[in-house]
Structure 1
Amino acid sequence: MDAEQAHGPGGPRWWRGRGTPWRSTLLLTVFVFVGSAFAARMQQGERAELDLFARVLLLVACALLLWRRRYPVAVVFGTAVAVALYLGAGYPYGPVFLTVAVACFSAVVAGHRRAAWTALGLLCAVHLLVAYWLYRWLPPSGDAPASLGQELVVAGWVVAIVALAELARSRREQWARERAERAQAARRRADEERLRIARELHDVLAHSLSVINVQAGVGLALLDADPEQARTALTTIKSASKEALGEVRQVLDSLRTPGDAPRTPAPGLDRLPELVEQAARAGLTVEVAGEPPRLSPGTDLAAFRIVQEALTNVVRHSGSRHARVRIDEERGTLRLRIDDDGPATGADAGGGGNGLAGMRERAAALGGTIEAGPRADGGFRVLAVLPVKATAEGGEDQ
């Protein structure tokens, strides 16, 4: 992408937003006029005297710099023409070249490199024509061709202008890239945080609302026939809703001021007995085999949510009232296997089909995998393979 396309016709935003540079232009104008007067005295007899036309050219070259940020291309060509006329009229060499240098610098920084170097090249070409050919017919009379030393000074000025402008342009572009990368990284972190919170809320609400849905159905069915059993179902609904509110509050705590410590620790496999008890209240018997190893916080939370979501799916979508959870550790890898005997009922107790996708995202964020699908004997299996220690991709450093 061309710099002009990247920055727009007025240059980068940091350049366009500073207004008219009155002070710097006024200081430069004073310096050019005082320096040119001093140069005229030093070159008296060699170059033409500073007359009204010379001062008008000096003023035009300086005044154009007031618009160097709004119209950098017009200003760089305008200053080049004014200085070319100044040189062609045989006036003394001096700080008038600074006006072209400043205009070129502004044009390059604004993204108009081609215009800046074209204007500077044209001015150099005019200077060479005047210094080695047109000097015979231009004032002052009796002028001689330019010396090698004088041309070396001019060449040095040109190289300095080019080097300084290109250095400033490269630094500004680097700063702009770094700002864009920081903004992109901040947006990415915000997106990841939103995804994490949405996933947490989905897992908490899907599990709790499934339990509440089942127990509400039991309570309604037994309200007249077995009031005591209906009371138990309502008690389960109250307990599940209270726990869900607590977990939702914990998730939303992460939206508080950055740096605040969470009020309660994130759940992990040490709360598996609570999960089994909740499933039992929903009418699902869960057998747990194996002991969870010591896990990093990220893996522990992901493992708990995967088991929670798998059991929720059994409650909602399976005709079986029995599930098995198997926990194994092998070569630094945690294997979670959740089985039920089916058959699938097709019931959907308020779910939107995002459970398996959420489990896969959790596992992938840690460098793990999820396999889920029907078994050959008619049941359903979820197999999660997670690293015992979270990888850097998962956002933890062990």
Structure 2
Amino acid sequence: MPWNANEEAWFARAANGWGRRRPPSARWIPVVVALLVQLPGLVIAAFHAREDVLTLVFVALAFASSFVLVAARQHPGPVVAIVGALCVPAIAATTGPPVSAIPLALAVVSAVARGARVWAWGTLAGFAVIGPLGAYLLAGHPTAIIRPLIVALILCLLVGVGEALRNRRERYHEVAQRIAARRESAAEAERLRIARELHDVLAHSLSQISVQAGVGLHLFDTRPDKAKESLAAIKATSSQALEEVRGVLGFLRSEGYPTSYAPEPDLDRIPVLVETYTRAGLDVSYDEDLHSIPAPAIQLAIYRIVQESLTNVGRHAQAKTVHIALGESAGEYVVTIADDGRGLPDGVSESGRGMLGMRERAELLGGRFEVGAGDEGGVIVTAHIPARAAATNTGWTRAETTT
């Protein structure tokens, strides 16, 4: 049966408390309870010892059986059998309140709660036969069997208490496992997100630094002014990359260390990307036709897709022109990056972690990602992201906005 949020939260708190290691002294609690309850009966039996020594021996055995309950956690099955054997004579021989059955009752509940059902039912079956028979032999009249039978019935009802405790423990463990699996899944998703962010930031920045360094070296002797611009671009790119890396990793630092967070990349930074690659000699154009402002998570995803696509073009495509188009149609944002490079290898639709990262970004927001060949060669990358993605994927939104 499914649980609602309040029930699961309650069981989660209970599971945390249940899973804590109990102190060794806790195992003596049932022993003390059984001893205190039986103590008056032992005193009364001792007072009448001269008249009935055998009853005193039986009551003393039941009293001593309380100490066997110490081992109920480790050996619940043998404990219930031993306690039953020691308590049956006293229950059969005495009259009045069956206080000698208290250790057996605690042992039965403990055995059933810990899964030793066969031991518990076997002990109760033996008690239901031996108890009334012993009472009849000791008392000498048929009505003596009524008391042991009533005690056996009460013990059978206590089996239900043990089952309830067992079911509750199983539910606690189930909730604890579910919480652990959820936390592990969230941690894995966070690791993947961090890896994706670092890949996009470092791959783009290092690629730009390499391109600008090559341009600077090529023009250093003939056009020093252009070489100086390349060095300035390298400085700006490296500074920006450093800030973004600090933003991604800042929350992983231990408490007590200062944390620096860079502004989250958004659509306003796409023209900066375009200008950067234009300075490197690539003809990049950018057209934007939006009717609404996308949510921050969507803006970040679009920016990273454009960034990674330009990085791939600069490193592998050997292209001369790139066209970026961002529009809004039928309730979704559509971004397209097309180049005139050499395209993907034959028989390969996607390759590399960059393509995988772009696909993950689009699909995590409920969209889709496509890669295909252009009409005149090159590669066309298209991502469709629903406009309501931020509302339906709150986990992604929270994860992204923390950077």
Relative to structure 1, is the Cα distance of residues 358 and 221 closer, same or farther in structure 2, using a 3 angstrom cutoff? Answer: same
**Per-residue CA distance 1:123-175 (angstroms, 9 max, x = gap):** 233334445xxx2xx323x232446577345413421x112211111112212
Aligned counterpart for 1:22 among listed residues 14, 19, 28: 28
Cα drift, residue 120 of structure 1:
2.7
Cα drift, residue 246 of structure 1:
1.2
Q: Is the 8 A contact 2:326 2:334 kept in 1?
A: yes
What TM-score do you get using the length of structure 2 for normalisation?
A: 0.81
Aligned counterpart for 1:116 among listed residues 114, 120, 129: 120
Aligned counterpart for 1:178 among listed residues 175, 180, 185: 175
Tell me what 1:77 maps to. 81
Tell me what 1:308 maps to. 307
Tell me what 1:6 maps to. none
| Structure 2 letter corresponding to 1:91 | T
Tell me what 1:143 maps to. 141
Which aligned segments of 4 or more residues in structure 1 are displaced greater than 6 angstroms?
A: none
Secondary structure class of the residue paired with 1:323: strand
**Per-residue CA distance 1:228-265 (angstroms, 9 max, x = gap):** 3332222211111111111111212343589x998444
| Structure 2 letter corresponding to 1:268 | D
| Structure 2 letter corresponding to 1:104 | V
Q: Which moved more, 1:335-344 or 1:143-152?
A: 143-152
Q: Which moved more, 1:333-342 or 1:386-395?
A: 386-395
**Mapping for residues 228-377 of structure 1, pairs under 5 Å:** 228-255=225-252, 263-292=261-290, 293-344=292-343, 353-377=352-376
Structure 1 position 380 matched with structure 2 position 385: no
Secondary structure class of the residue paired with 1:115: helix
Secondary structure class of the residue paired with 1:212: helix
Cα drift, residue 382 of structure 1:
0.4
| Structure 1 letter corresponding to 2:356 | A
Aligned counterpart for 2:58 among listed residues 54, 59, 63: 54
| Structure 2 letter corresponding to 1:316 | R
Cα drift, residue 66 of structure 1:
1.5
| Structure 1 letter corresponding to 2:392 | A
What TM-score do you get using the length of structure 1 for normalisation?
A: 0.82
CA distance in 2, matches of 1:148, 1:29: 25
Percent identity over the alignment is 37
CA distance in 1, matches of 2:29, 2:79: 17
Q: Which moved more, 1:100-109 or 1:313-322?
A: 100-109
| Structure 2 letter corresponding to 1:127 | G
Q: Which moved more, 1:100-109 or 1:205-214?
A: 100-109
| Structure 1 letter corresponding to 2:65 | A
CA distance in 1, matches of 2:343, 2:212: 20
RMSD: 3.2
